[in-house]
Chains A and B, each alone.
Chain A
Amino acid sequence: MIRKSAFIANVRACLSLFRIKTAEGFQYRMAYLVNAAVGVFWGLIEITVYSVFYQYAERKDAGIMAGMDINQMITYVWLAQAIFAMVPMNIDGEILSKINSGDVGVELCRPLDLYFHWFSKTAATRLTPFLLRGSVVLLAAAFMPAAYRMSLPASASGFLWMLLSLLAALLLCTSYSMLICAVRLKITWGDGITYMMMLIGGILSGAYLPLQLWPEGMQRFLTLQPFAGYLDIPVRLYIGTISPEKALSSILIQILWSAVFILAGKLLMAKRLQTIVIQGGITDYESLF
């Protein structure tokens, strides 16, 4: 049982860990700038490909039939490029090296719940790239030539709902990341499973192709699955393909899945920590060759 004062101390510690880690991330501004440049390049290629489809394809109005015109498509691409920085596609380097080197042992000595300790750090590693890379990408997107420019939000209320939905997305990304961390605690499995888990999330997020353009038969599944909350829901609120009246239920889906992931992550981590084997000795495997 955690006493109330201990609980408050825990929360405080986590908040300051979050702050420190965010500030740390801001030191790599140059790296994010280059990263953003790659994102812009990628976005330009995607828009080129989609525009070709919208102009020259056999059934060129298929996109509009699915509820997305070319301007919404372009806006989707740019927003997805920005928000994708938040999507967990790798485990936080610091945490991963702690797992690999056996420093988990040291972490366990701290009078702090390990799950929430790492949770706040992970949240920071998800947020910083989004703020840094995302802002540069969006800035570039706003000043593109007309054929590539991002449009304004569909409605003011849609925009406000999107901001709220982005917060929920951060929660979702962090909690899924933490579930993956808990899986990764079993060190002998290597990176295979965790990569798979992240990859599936990335694909179903809509970053590859807006979920609306996936086959009709899958639409119901696509809106209910957890990863639409990564970026599809916020972006759709912005471009107006989810109306503001339905925003609340979409955000509830995001929060519901976050809760599921947090619960699963916490339980799995507790189970893993009971039988954890701390690695010692030569941990620097690079020195072996």
Chain B
Amino acid sequence: MKVYFKLLKMNLLSGLQYKGWPFMILQVLVVVVTDPLGSILMFSRFGSIGEWTAERILLIYAMAVTSFGLAETFFRGFDYFPWRMVRSGDFDRVLLRPHSTVSMVAGSYFHIHRLARVFGGICAILWCLYENGVKPGFLNAVIILWGLAGGFLAYAGVFVMTSGIAFFTIKALDWIYILTNASYQVTRCPMSHMPRALKNMFTFFLPILVTSYYPASAVCGWGEGYAKAFIALPAGLAFFLFSLMIWRIGVKHYKSTGS
């Protein structure tokens, strides 16, 4: 862990060498603001869908985006891993070091602008909670954080899994977008109108709806109980451990390339 934070610090400082770094933060903020823009404009034109108001959809969406942002901030190294380390053979050097491979790779990339998504997401969550008339309280705060932690683990799992698979093939890894950027788009669809296949995929395989919808629903009182909200963290953890297993298998099969 100590090594991981040292790596993060070094990467952060090297990133700051580029004079344009405030623009990077600005850019991610623009992404965060404009990502749900389509939904917001649709809601303003069409009005709400039954009981599903813009604030409700946005809250679920913001939960998912924030946990994705957290995973992206602290596990970004895995995202670049296939191209930077497997293809070039640089993973050899990581294997030679007397530290955990996971923390070495996770810390291999960090940039402050990634936090912008988290920051924007948290602002959106707070605003939506306020708009939905949620009373601030200890239990509610715990549940939201619990859900975010679960989502963080789930998305971190996606990144680790991609890298694990990259040991076997680094061709055509784009499908992972379905589990990353496309997955939180799913939360834009009201739960009651969501096609069954989508709902099952993002509940039982990648538990994004578990970590975003259930906590939000419990806190705002939309009919899901607190008990379901507490599944969020275990579900995220389960997915993370599953991914870690794939990663372990991948490391075992690693054959060096290049020189």
Contact = CB atoms under 8 A, between A and B. Distances in A.
Given A33-B172, A196-B26, A189 B34 contact: no
Contact of B45 (A31, A66, A208, A289): A66
Interface string B41-71: 1101111111000000000000000000000
A285 B185 CA distance: 34
Interface string B3-46: 00001001100100011111111110011001001110110111
Contacts of A190: 18-21, 23-24
Interface string A52-69: 110011111011001000
Interface string B180-218: 001001101110011100100000000000000000000
A189 B19 contact: yes
Given A48-B194, A199-B30, A31 B46 contact: no
Contacts of A63: 45-46
A288 B10 CA distance: 10
Interface in A27-66: 30-31, 33-35, 37-38, 41-42, 45-46, 48-50, 52-53, 56-60, 62-63, 66
A209 B46 contact: no
A95 B239 CA distance: 39
Contacts of A66: 45
Interface in A164-211: 188-193, 195-196, 199-200, 203, 208-209
Interface in A191-250: 191-193, 195-196, 199-200, 203, 208-209, 213-215
B185 A42 contact: yes
A58 B44 CA distance: 11
Contact of B46 (A53, A191, A195): A53
Given A31-B171, A37-B175, A48-B198, A53 B49 contact: yes
A286 interface: yes
Given A38-B177, A59-B47, A49 B34 contact: no
B142 interface: no
Given A41-B182, A189-B20, A192-B26, A57 B193 contact: no
A200 B40 CA distance: 18
A191 B11 CA distance: 16
Contact of B49 (A34, A46, A52): A52
Contacts of A62: 45-47
B24 A56 contact: no
Contacts of B50: 56
B46 A34 contact: no
A49 B188 contact: yes
Interface in B94-142: 108, 113
A289 B10 contact: yes
A182 B31 CA distance: 23
Contacts of B11: 289
A174 B174 CA distance: 24
Contacts of B30: 196, 199-200
Contacts of B195: 48
A188 B19 contact: yes
B190 A199 contact: no
Given A34-B175, A57-B48, A213-B45, A52 B190 contact: yes
A45 B185 contact: yes
Given A31-B172, A34-B175, A42-B185, A58 B23 contact: no
A287 B90 CA distance: 8
Q: Most chain-B CB neighbours within 10 Å: which of A53, A62, A287?
A: A53
A122 B16 CA distance: 29
B53 to A, nearest CB: 10
Contacts of B245: none
B88 interface: yes
B33 to A, nearest CB: 10
Given A45-B185, A57-B48, 11 more contacts: A48-B194, A52-B189, A56-B193, A57-B49, A62-B47, A190-B20, A192-B21, A192-B113, A196-B23, A209-B37, A285-B14
Q: Closest 5 interchain pairs by CB?
A: A192-B23, A58-B47, A190-B18, A190-B20, A57-B46
Interface of B: 7, 10-11, 14, 18-27, 30-31, 34, 37-39, 41-42, 44-50, 84, 88, 90, 108, 113, 171-175, 177-178, 182, 185-186, 188-190, 193-195, 198
